[in-house]
Structure 1
Amino acid sequence: MSDRQKGLVDALKFVVPKAEIRFCARHIWANFKLTWSGQVYKEAFWTAARALTQADFDKAMEGMKFLSKEAYAYLRAIPAQHWSMHAFGKQAKSNMLLNNICESFNAVIREARDKPILTHMEWMRRYVMKRMYEKREGVKKYNEEYMPYVDKSLKWAIDESRFCKFIGSSLNVYEVDFHGEQVVVNIEARTCDCNHWQLTGGTVAAYVDEVYSKAKYVLAYEPVVAPIPGQKLWEKTGLPEPLPPAERVMPGRPKSKKRRKEPGEDDGKGSLATTKELARTPQWPPTPKSKGGRPQKSTAWAKEARQIAEKRKATKEGYLRCTGSTSNIQHSAVTTDGQANGTQQSVVRDHELFN
């Protein structure tokens, strides 16, 4: 399972020529929707990717051709055995469409990526040794014949069997009607025309493929990674120790250590920390960028300030018309004996207020 990075497909053909190669459907869709986006194209693409039979795949591709001949040609150029369920090999007993296993592995080794080669390999060895040990010890507490994944699949099959109507043809061959689809099931050969049995290894308790059994699980984690002593106890070879390469500053802006995400991978969802921060901080409407100079006359603050200034000016002008000039007010504010007159005091206070 790969994301079709440049050179990776050719390398897999050279290194593991007999292995079944699948392409991650999510990465294909991420590139596909750059040109043909929308819910209709999305449903048509995933219908073709999840098609279990050739007839279902052809029907889905005809729908894609009706939407866009260019989109149809784009998907036809990718071999169906790499991205559509109906063309997958039957030996793997898996209908997986996404490379979640690779993404999980990359997330685990993130801590060791930037370490020197010896430290990196030692970290990987210790991680694999610990994981193999934990899996061997954990499966000892499990007493069922098949692993938990099979139990979930069997529960789903039991619920869906309510909609199955079958007619026996011979001892092990049946004609089954399921949601309007008519298929032939051969219990002895462990095949079904819907292709689901061959892909996943079966959903009937007595006919589940042994690859999902506890015995096979134990066998997968049976190899033991041997412990080794610390570096100071390693055998001396007498050869000079390898030195790290000289540090060199590369031109351009430093790249982020985070993985570059595909378009639409986030779907507008931020991290948990960002979500909490946004919930804690009130979101005010954005303030328009100021162009400098005097404040705009149309803002609410400017209008209110202008109204107050006009009101004060009108009040002052009316007061002066009734009492005379400013010099007369200041001249008569105090009597000859130093005692302030009540009327004159109020005049002085009003004068100071308006000035």
Structure 2
Amino acid sequence: MLTAVSIDANNEIFFLAYGIVDTESTESWTYFFRNLRCLFATEGCHKDDWTFISDIMRGVDAAIHDFYPKETRRICCQHLYFNCKTAGWSGSTFHKLFWIAADAYNEYVFEKAMTKIKEHDVAPEKYLRDVLEQWSKKMFDSKVCCDHNTTNIVESFNSCTKAFRDMPMLTLLEAVRNWVMKRVGSRFDKAINMEPDQLIEYAQNILQSRSDDSRFCHVTLCGGGGEREFEVRDRHVKFPINQDLMTCGCGKWQGSGIPCKHGLRVIYHQRLEPTNFISTYFKGAAYKATYARHIHPMANPTHWPSFDVPQILPTNVKRSAGRPTKQRRRAPHEARKGKRHKNNWNFQGVEA
């Protein structure tokens, strides 16, 4: 089952499309993205500059580029790190430096981490430099206002629909539709009562967290001229702030669409309201537009109208030997679910 999921303003799963194919290949992904493009066109959306994030799956790159020539490709950093680990580049030092580079919002932090990776080992630094897809947050387009660099949202969807995998095909599709319908319906009801400028709960939590951290920052200089520019000192580091452009030298404000602690320090210093400096993506108007329509209920299959069409029989599939696996195959870097650690007790000298 191929799926395309997105993230709404509340950092929750927004389901787009799903389909059943025989195997994961260039042909099947081409079929999937062609129909996804037709789906967008039906809703009046003809944009080509979508941002896609995935691991390196067979056939995805070629299929996306055929139907979305202006697309932006991100790669899941968790899978990218696993590729590095498979190549022999591991250890606590590399792990720490890799994620510092991956989560860096500005060029300085990224280059400093990459320099230390190079000092640790030249090979992984060259490999990461040659990655064509975007993987560090400093590479992301600020207009997207989404700083996700992993596919955890997809893993969450797979976990939620795990109970449906053993069902027959039609029952599987109907179970997924019902699962999506319930969640979209509850958010549809939630969006009705929201004010246009009301902040989403996800943005409120981030704002509160960064607001607490802003207490340790100090506005040291106010600039003149047409733009409201400020300089904020965070311990021993200074960051330039442009309040009109809603940017900060740390990169987190423009990268996430929500003011960073340095930007909040300036906003509080000016006696202004932080809500006015948050991207409209995280406000009630956008959330209401996202869930403006809900998924309509369907009648029981026994009540469906009959059509005079040929009956499609299931294909002859040779069953593999052994019992079919039900658990998701975990990568070598992932912890085994429910695995207990054995205690190495020393019973020497103990008499029964």
On whether the aligned pair clears a TM of 0.5, the verdict is yes
CA offsets per residue over residues 118-142 of structure 1, 9 Å max, x none?
A: 2222222222222111112234566
Is 1:195 aligned to residue 251 of structure 2?
yes
Cα distance in 2, alignment partners of residues 33 and 284 from structure 1: 29
5 Å matches for 1:240-279? Answer: 240-246=310-316, 248-250=318-320, 252-266=321-335, 270-271=337-338
* Shift in CA distance, 193/285, structure 1 to aligned 2, threshold 3 Å: closer
Contact 1:201 1:209 in 2 (8 A): yes
* Shift in CA distance, 147/111, structure 1 to aligned 2, threshold 3 Å: same
The Cα shift of 1:85 comes to: 0.7
Query: Which residue of the partner structure matches residue 51 of structure 1?
Result: 104
* Shift in CA distance, 13/114, structure 1 to aligned 2, threshold 3 Å: farther
Query: Which residue of the partner structure matches residue 320 of structure 1?
Result: none
Contact 1:20 1:89 in 2 (8 A): no
Matched letter for residue 98 of structure 2: F
Cα distance in 2, alignment partners of residues 103 and 52 from structure 1: 24
The RMSD of aligned alpha carbons is: 2.9
5 Å matches for 1:150-165? Answer: 150-165=203-218
The Cα shift of 1:89 comes to: 1.2
* Shift in CA distance, 285/178, structure 1 to aligned 2, threshold 3 Å: closer
Cα distance in 1, alignment partners of residues 350 and 283 from structure 2: 74
Is 1:67 aligned to residue 120 of structure 2?
yes
Larger radius of gyration: 1
Q: Any gaps of 5 or more consecutive residues in structure 1?
A: 288-298, 302-355
Q: Which residue of 275, 289, 302 maps to 1:219?
A: 289
TM-score, normalising length from structure 2? 0.71
TM-score, normalising length from structure 1? 0.71
Contact 1:82 1:88 in 2 (8 A): yes
Cα distance in 2, alignment partners of residues 26 and 241 from structure 1: 44
Q: Tell me whether 8-17 or 91-100 shows the greater mean CA deviation.
A: 8-17
Q: Secondary structure at the match of 1:21?
A: strand
Is 1:174 aligned to residue 230 of structure 2?
yes
CA offsets per residue over residues 41-86 of structure 1, 9 Å max, x none?
A: 111111111111112211111111111111111211213x511010
Matched letter for residue 174 of structure 1: F
5 Å matches for 1:290-309? Answer: none
The Cα shift of 1:201 comes to: 0.7
The Cα shift of 1:205 comes to: 2.9
Is 1:12 aligned to residue 64 of structure 2?
yes
Q: Tell me whether 11-20 or 83-92 shows the greater mean CA deviation.
A: 11-20
Cα distance in 2, alignment partners of residues 257 and 146 from structure 1: 40
Q: Which residue of 189, 205, 210 maps to 2:275?
A: 205
Cα distance in 1, alignment partners of residues 76 and 207 from structure 2: 26
Cα distance in 2, alignment partners of residues 106 and 244 from structure 1: 25
Contact 2:188 2:293 in 1 (8 A): no
Cα distance in 2, alignment partners of residues 214 and 105 from structure 1: 24
Number of aligned residue pairs: give it: 281
Cα distance in 2, alignment partners of residues 26 and 139 from structure 1: 33
Q: Secondary structure at the match of 1:158?
A: helix
CA offsets per residue over residues 205-255 of structure 1, 9 Å max, x none?
A: 3201110012211221122222222222222222232222335333x5555
Matched letter for residue 95 of structure 1: D
Q: Percent identity?
A: 27
The Cα shift of 1:285 comes to: 6.0
Q: Secondary structure at the match of 1:185?
A: strand
